[in-house]
Structure 1
Amino acid sequence: MNRAQLKEYLDAKVEQYNVPDFIPHDPIQIPHLFTSKKDIEIAGFLVATISWGNRKSIINNSNKLMELMDHAPADFIINHEPDDLDRFDGFVHRTFNSEDCKTFIRSLRNIELEYDGLENAFAKAYLEKNHLQHAISRFKEIFFEIEHLPRTQKHVSDPLKNSSAKRINMFLRWMVRQDNAGVDFGIWDQIPMSALSLPLDVHTGNIARKLKMLKRKQNDGKAVAELDTYLRKLDPNDPVKYDFALFGVGVFNDL
């Protein structure tokens, strides 16, 4: 396929997979339980953080997190007392354990108090260089301003160290992308959709290579940059809409 044919093909796949029926099968279903902006973004951030591995396990553990926060994540983050964190003892998702979880809760509270929330923290970082991958790296510094165990740092990726930062890029897609289909939330307006990067994973990487959109073999930060360049030529305003196409084709063997 030439580029025009590939764009037509991928646009059709976006129409096929960027639909409300996507929600019940994806971790994005958890922040969709809420209606307030603060609940959506805090739930979304925590869910995105543990979104690796088996999807059923991700969704089950995300529901456990919401239950532990009394299904009111924003209120819990802001108003919890230190003793309230004891309820997270025993929580684990793969290598994300209870101490990591408690650190994330304390950090999110610090971000609410010191930066007036996640959107402002990310926007402040983005405006330094108008480059989202730089912003993610800067956000990691902000996130770990509080006292923390060194082990917990691995749960926030740093693109400037060549990480694909798949989970944070996915979270930012959820928050920033204006989605007429109602899957992504589009509740942040300080970062443009055009700046978003694809949440690169095994499925999207493999399909991008089969379609000759990506040459790099590793799913790392350099591969994200290469794929971003290609996707922005297909749609400079909404390049990450193609995440639905590449992911759907990969998961459902629809190529």
Structure 2
Amino acid sequence: MGTSVSTLKTRLDGLCARYDTAEALEKDPFSVVLAYDSPMNREVAAFVAAHLAYGRVDPMIRAVRVALAPLGSSPADWLRTRSGAAIRRELSRALSTWAWRFHTAADLIAWLLAWKQLDAESGQGLESHLLPRAGEGPDDALSRLVQRLRTDLPASYGSRFSLPDPLEGAACKRWRMFLRWMVRSGWPDLGLWTRYPADQLVIPLDTHVARVSHFIGLSRRTTPDGKMALEITESLRRLDPVDPLRYDFALSHLGILGDCPGIRKRSTCAACPLYSVCRAGSESAARIPR
């Protein structure tokens, strides 16, 4: 029999109490974003950090910091007050040895130049480029921007890795993370964008969230794709209709910090708030009752 909504909510609330902490935040790329002080500077930092957020967390955070360092304490002003040619010249020199897994310095420079162009068009960052038009949903707007950037950016592997399309079935983990940071107002997020439909945010689905969500019955799916992200989000909405993504940080950090072994054993799992509702190693986990 499936776990009741109230029981699962209690268990996940306990997980949030454990992981929604400053200590856990230090092991998250979002900690780099919070080092900046103004909304536009945080947006630039988030645009970089979210799209480099893959791989082992400690070297990834170091890569994000090094990537942003040449832009100083005010990256938005730095980009706005330089020509594209000057940006390419200065960053090519400053980041000549920088790389992060699939991303090269050239990919990063193109990404920052894309922000500069989009900001120049809107006059206020990226939010308007991600707002749905009449009759659209948010994923239509995201798809439109992704398709534009696929045309505008160099056809490198790093650039293409940053440009999954939700309308093609992709989970879009890094775009979902960027949107969560910018739109959601609860801890630890920024809530800087007020026009984007916050009630339509989708969980940033990484391997940790996918695995734990399957273990506790938030999704029956085993493939971490766009459909699984939507299914998990809908399950969490039944636990918290107003703020379903408040569980995302805790779910992901249970895996990021290495606290979930993936095999349910009392000796290693009994202290976990999810132990009583976890079905790790079993395909018998049921979704939350509708």
TM-score, reference length from structure 2: 0.80
2:187 equivalent to 1:187: no
Matched residues, number: 251
Q: What does the per-residue CA deviation read over 1:148-183, in whole Å, with 9 as the maximum and x for residues that have no partner?
A: 33542332221111111111111111111111x4x2
- Tell me the equivalent position of 1:89: 96
2:249 paired residue among 244, 247, 251: 244
Q: Distance in 2 between matches of 1:18 and 1:72?
A: 28
Alignment-derived partner of residue 215 in structure 1: 220
> 1:30 and 1:115 mapped to 2: Cα distance?
25
Please report how far the alpha carbon of residue 130 of structure 1 lies from its aligned counterpart in structure 2 after TM superposition: 4.9
- Is 1:38 aligned to residue 40 of structure 2? yes
User: What's the counterpart of residue 28 of structure 2?
Assistant: 26
Q: How does 1:105-184 map to 2 (within 5 A)?
A: 105-116=112-123, 117-123=125-131, 126-144=132-150, 146=152, 148-149=154-155, 151=157, 152-179=159-186, 181=187, 183-184=188-189
Contact 1:11 1:245 in 2 (8 A): no
Bigger fraction of residues in helix: 1
Q: Is the CA contact (8 Å cut-off) linking 2:122 and 2:128 kept in structure 1?
A: yes
Q: Which amino acid aligns with 2:120?
A: L
When residues 105 and 135 of structure 1 are mapped into structure 2, their CA distance, relative to the original with a 3 A threshold, is same
Query: 1:111–1:143: 8 Å Cα contact kept in structure 2?
Result: no
The one-letter code sitting in structure 1 at the alignment partner of 2:26 is: P
Contact 2:70 2:91 in 1 (8 A): no
Q: Runs ≥4 in structure 1, deviation > 4 angstroms? A: none
Q: Aligned letter for 1:172?
A: L
Q: Would you say the 8 A contact 1:164–1:224 is kept in 2? A: yes
SS of the equivalent of 2:99 reads: coil
Instruction: From the superposition, tell whether residues 78 and 145 of structure 1 become closer, same or farther in structure 2 (CA, over 3 Å).
Output: farther
Rg comparison, structure with higher value: 2
- Cα distance in 1 between the residues matched to 2:133 and 2:217: 33
CA separation in 2, counterparts of 1:131 and 1:217? Answer: 26
Return 5+ residue gaps in structure 2 as ranges.
Answer: 261-271, 275-290
Distance in 2 (CA, whole Å) between partners of 1:147 and 1:61 is: 21
Partner SS state of residue 51, structure 1: coil
Residue number in structure 2 paired with 1:100: 107
Measured in 1, the distance between the counterparts of 2:248 and 2:227 equals 17
Match of 1:202 in 2: 207
Give secondary structure in 1 for the equivalent of 2:100: coil
Provide structure 1 residue ranges, at least 5 long, that are not aligned to the other structure.
none
Which deviates the most, 68-77 or 104-113? Answer: 68-77
Shift of 1:38: 0.4
What's the secondary structure of 2:231's corresponding residue?
helix
Per-residue deviation at 1:110?
Answer: 0.5
When residues 227 and 3 of structure 1 are mapped into structure 2, their CA distance, relative to the original with a 3 A threshold, is same
Q: Deviation digits for residues 7-63 of structure 1, max 9, x if unmatched?
A: 121122223322333322211111101110000011011011110001111110111
